[in-house]
Amino acid sequence: QAKQLGRKRFVVFDEALAKDMVDVLTMESELRKALRQNEFEPHFQPIFRLGDGQIVGYEALIRWNHPQRGLLKPHDFVRIAEDSGLIEAIDWRLFEMSCRMLAQKGPAEQFVTFNVSALHLRHADFDTRILKMLERTGLASSRLITEVTEGALLDNPESVRSMLDRLRVAGVGAALDDFGTGYSSLSYLHSLPMRMLKIDRAFVHELDKVGSKNSTTVVAAILALAHALNIQVIAEGIETQAQFDTLLSMGCEMGQGYLLGRPAPIDEWL
Ligand code: C2E
Ligand code: MG
Ligand code: MG
Ligand code: MG
């Protein structure tokens, strides 16, 4: 009986799992090779001031120029890069490229943001490493904004808070990403050293729909609280003129989205 059970298990393993495992291992070795051969690059999505249409900064979003599969997005590989522990090396490479590109090409008043995951925030020397990178790349600290999600903050709120605070003192800002999707509690926002807050595109998407009264109320509440706390607001995922108009009329200062500009190589913008 035990033998039978064992055989059955083996069958299950053989089919799905084995293929998954091969895929994961293949991807891992490809990721290693990609790091060696510099196949990662940031695409920049412009962030606009809604009032006058000026580009005030860019979000750096990772892309992988895969030699066979073409341009890959985070969805295609970040999960495996995280599980294999490679994401940190990949991210640092990307952060450094993004800072260097903006320092060399961007007007001095434009900033760059990049996405910092919980893994990075676990390192007590994350802030000093960021500051060293800024020195190396020549980007003024005031031009860098780290994007962190609420989930990443939950991990170890006290140490993350003091880390972000040390960065703030050094001039580096922080933005709370995907606001409204996580464990959002409007009430703890005041205790975080955020320069900006990014309203998740799920809310923006709802804005121009019939019966969108609820999301309009939520966005208005987010804007009111952020502004009372001296935090600037970026709306994510603006896709229609109606969404843009509503956000502008509600006093949202910045936005990004396909209506305004898709993520693209830096040469597209600078
Ligand atoms: P995110 O930080 O919320 O980034 C915004 C995502 O929304 C980007 O997808 C962007 O291309 C997409 N987007 C922008 N405007 C619109 C719009 O108008 N409509 C729609 N439907 N989507 C829009 P992307 O580049 O695929 O990135 C997905 C996620 O991957 C990011 O979400 C971020 O969490 C993560 N990510 C991106 N770059 C990095 C990186 O360098 N390192 C790490 N660890 N994660 C990254
Ligand atoms: Mg982001
Ligand atoms: Mg976001
Ligand atoms: Mg989002």
pLDDT of 43-92, one tens digit each? 999 999 999 999 999 999 999 999 999 999 999 999 999 998 999 999 99
Q: Is the pLDDT assigned to residue 251 strictly greater than 90?
A: yes
Calculate how far, in angstroms, residue 109's C-alpha sits from the geometric centre of ligand 1: 23
Which atom of ligand 1 has the smallest separation from the CA of 95?
A: 41
More confident: 232 or 27: 232
Gap between the Cα atoms of 33 and 135, Å rounded: 28
Calculate how far, in angstroms, residue 142's C-alpha sits from the geometric centre of ligand 2: 18
Question: From atom 33 of ligand 1, which residue's Cα is the shortest distance away?
Answer: 115
* Lining residues, ligand 1, CB within 6 Å: 45, 61-62, 73-75, 78, 87, 91, 94, 114-115, 117, 147, 177-178, 201, 237-239, 256-258, 263
Instruction: ipTM value, please give it.
Output: 0.97
Which atom of ligand 1 has the smallest separation from the CA of 256?
A: 15
AA identity, residue 191: S
Would you state the pLDDT for residue 152?
A: 86
Calculate how far, in angstroms, residue 237's C-alpha sits from the geometric centre of ligand 3: 9
Q: Is the pLDDT assigned to residue 120 strictly greater than 70?
A: yes
**Extended beta strands in the chain, E state:** 40-49, 55-66, 70-72, 111-115, 144-149, 173-179, 196-199, 232-235, 254-255
Average pLDDT of 23-33? 90
Calculate how far, in angstroms, residue 10's C-alpha sits from the geometric centre of ligand 2: 42
30 touches 233 (CB < 8 A) = no
Going by the DSSP 8-state scheme, the letter that residue 16 receives in this structure is I
Gap between the Cα atoms of 219 and 216, Å rounded: 5
Going by the DSSP 8-state scheme, the letter that residue 123 receives in this structure is S
**Burial track 146-162 (b if 16+ CB lie within 10 A, e otherwise):** bbbbbebbeeeeeebee
CA angle, corner 36, sides to 33 and 37, nearest 5?
A: 85
Which atom of ligand 1 has the smallest separation from the CA of 263?
A: 11
Q: What contacts 258, CB < 8 A, 6 or more positions away?
A: 237, 238, 239
